[in-house]
Amino acid sequence: MRPRLIAGNWKMHKTISEAKSFVRDFLTIFQPQQGIEVVMAPPFIALPAVHHALQSTPIQLAAQNLFGKDEGAFTGEISAPMLQDLGCTYVIIGHSERRQHFKETNELINQKIQAALGHGLQPIFCVGERLEEREAGRTESVISNQIIEGLREVSSEQMKTITIAYEPVWAIGTGRAATPDQAAEVHTHIRSTIAGKWGIAQDGLRILYGGSVTAENAGEFFQSSQINGALVGKACLNPESFARIASLAP
Ligand code: PEP
């Protein structure tokens, strides 16, 4: 069984100085616990400062994105070797905001997955259905497709290093979280899809829930054995609420 994981996706928030003061405040209240991994994903520009501030702590660093090639004429992009050199251990891939605003396809997401895995970065791979897809009864097929295409040519060994984040698009940033039962139902589907195709034990998979997780509702999600942690957006921007969510995970 992999440890639970609580990851904070800062999105496009916080300057470098705000990032430093956030980490300072967070470390005064955060209590590390056995069996819980905590990950922070600040914007690219704040990665070095946050890496430095986290150096003597167990908290790990993630990037929010990467490009699917190692180097070359790709103005404005950031590669897996660059992130690895910066001290990142995780990278978020396939977030719905990137699928929606930056038109990332499953094929492009697969290139990013391959690039990350090729450089020892552990993907936090996001999947999730839009509201109209849920209402049309297509949740499971949409998610299966995201998994099959997004994780194409990933080996069973590599699959053990991937964390899946189930993030229903209608729950992200809306204040309307899925219920723990809704999340657990989709997690069960993800687990059987992956176990079936990659032949790995269902309890070898780590699946997070994301979508309007707060310090108030996180505990209910963590009661489900299907839910192995959370990907947190808005509520991770406040040191008290992020520390509180992490404290509820055991
Ligand atoms: C996210 O960005 O992955 C997310 C889940 O955001 P929020 O917690 O704000 O819904």
Residues with CB under 6 A from ligand 1: 9, 11, 167, 172-173, 210-213, 231-235
What is the per-residue pLDDT for 208? 98
Stated pTM of the model: 0.97
Q: Structurally, how many domains does the chain consist of? A: 1
Q: Ligand 1 centre from 210 Cα, in Å?
A: 6
Q: Whose CA is nearest to atom 1 of ligand 1?
A: 233
The catalytically annotated residue of 97, 104, 129, 167 is: 167
**Residue 187 annotated to the active site:** no
Q: Is 176 helix (H, G, I), strand (E, B) or coil?
A: coil
The catalytically annotated residue of 37, 95, 133, 187 is: 95
- Residue range of the domain that includes 64: 4-247
Regions of the chain with pLDDT less than 70: none
With tokens 């069984």, the residue in question is 1
Closest ligand 1 atom to Cα of 92: 3
Q: Ligand 1 centre from 37 Cα, in Å?
A: 18
Please tell me the distance from the alpha carbon of residue 213 to that of residue 215, in angstroms, as a whole number: 7
What is the per-residue pLDDT for 202? 74
What is the per-residue pLDDT for 104? 98
Contact 242, 2 (CB under 8 A): no
Question: For the segment 125-145, what is each residue's pLDDT rounded down to a tens digit?
Answer: 999 999 999 999 999 999 999
What is the per-residue pLDDT for 203? 79
Looking at residue 83, the DSSP 8-state letter turns out to be H
Distance from the Cα of residue 17 to its chain's centroid: 24
Q: Whose CA is nearest to atom 6 of ligand 1?
A: 233
CATH code at 19? 3.20.20.70
